[in-house]
């Protein structure tokens, strides 16, 4: 009679233990894969997903990618003049004058971060999106003192007098540049540039999103509807 080797009885339990171990080792990887899939879905839902038939959502998404939009830059020259008098024992004997012609640059920006859904109106019948923009913001004038032309008059200009004249002219040039940036004609040009920039930034994304030949009407919050 053939006897069975005792070692044969351990084969099946050994296979079973290896299979159970493989399952235990696979569980953490399945959890990690599940978490990665969930994160990917939530990211897509939060940043890329848009409900179909929602052109306002598509327009807002285009604006969310840039909180500030520079729409116009104005470069011009301002003239500043200052006088200085220095006295000896209370008698004014040294008079000097300095005129400066200096280039200045001012940028006009739109702050898009505060815009919400109420600033967008979609006319489905006319395939028309109306956008209401906030007021333009002007940057601090950039005074290009390196390109300034300086004209100084006076028989003798002391070092202190020259420093005071230059400082006064620099401050005066910045004030004049700020005032010039608010000139109605310059503001009108900046507003028109803003309308064109926003119209171009929204028309193409809406067409790519499948809304067809849409038109974008852009106005500012202090303007009435067209």
Query: Mean pLDDT over residues 212-222, rounded?
Result: 88
Handedness of CA 135, 136, 141, 142 (dihedral sign): positive
109 to each of 71, 118, 143, 152, 184, how far by Cα in Å?
A: 6, 21, 18, 37, 16
Task: Give the model's pLDDT for residue 177.
Answer: 95
Instruction: Round the average pLDDT of the chain to a whole number and report it.
Output: 79
- Asked if residue 218 lies in contact with residue 153, where contact means CB atoms within 8 angstroms, the answer is no
- Asked if residue 86 lies in contact with residue 94, where contact means CB atoms within 8 angstroms, the answer is yes
Lowest mean pLDDT among 16-30, 54-68, 94-108, 147-161: 16-30
- Asked if residue 58 lies in contact with residue 50, where contact means CB atoms within 8 angstroms, the answer is yes
How deeply is 126 buried, as exposed, middle or buried, from its count of CB atoms within 10 A (0-12, 13-18, 19+)?
A: exposed
- Strand order across the 215-220 sheet: 120-123, 128-133, 215-220
Say if pTM beats, i.e. exceeds, 0.75.
no
Task: Give the model's pLDDT for residue 46.
Answer: 47
As a dihedral over the C-alpha atoms of residue 70, residue 73, residue 79, residue 85, rounded to 10 degrees, the angle is: 20
Q: What is the pLDDT of residues 66-87, one digit of tens each?
A: 778 899 999 999 999 999 888 7
DSSP string for 11-49: HHHHHHHHHHHHHHHHHHHHHHHHHHHHHHHHHHHHHT-
Task: Give the model's pLDDT for residue 97.
Answer: 93
Cα gap 173→96, rounded to integer Å: 19
Task: Give the model's pLDDT for residue 30.
Answer: 52
In the chain, DSSP finds a helix count (H) and a strand count (E) of 4, 8
Q: What is the pLDDT of residues 171-183, one digit of tens each?
A: 999 999 999 999 9
* pLDDT above 50: residue 148: yes
């Amino acid at each position: 009679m053939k006897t069975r080797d005792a070692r044969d009885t351990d084969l099946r339990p050994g296979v079973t233990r290896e299979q159970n171990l493989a399952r235990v080792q696979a569980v953490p990887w399945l959890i990690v894969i599940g978490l990665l899939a969930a994160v990917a879905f939530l990211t897509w839902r939060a940043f890329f997903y848009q409900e179909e038939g929602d052109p306002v959502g598509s327009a807002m998404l285009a604006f969310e990618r840039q909180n500030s939009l520079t729409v116009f830059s104005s470069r011009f020259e301002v003239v500043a003049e200052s006088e200085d008098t220095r006295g000896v024992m209370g008698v004014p004997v040294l008079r000097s004058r300095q005129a400066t012609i200096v280039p200045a640059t001012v940028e006009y920006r739109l702050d898009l971060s505060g815009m919400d859904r109420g600033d967008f109106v979609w006319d489905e019948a006319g395939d028309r999106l109306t956008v209401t923009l906030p007021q333009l913001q002007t940057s601090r004038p950039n005074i290009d003192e390196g390109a300034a032309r300086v004209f100084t008059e006076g028989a003798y200009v002391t070092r202190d007098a020259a420093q005071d004249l230059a400082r006064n002219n620099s401050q005066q040039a910045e004030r004049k540049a700020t005032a010039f940036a608010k000139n109605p004609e310059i503001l009108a040009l900046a507003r028109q540039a803003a309308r064109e920039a926003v119209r171009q930034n929204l028309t193409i994304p809406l067409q790519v999103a499948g809304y067809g030949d849409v038109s974008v009407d852009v106005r500012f919050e202090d303007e009435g509807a067209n």
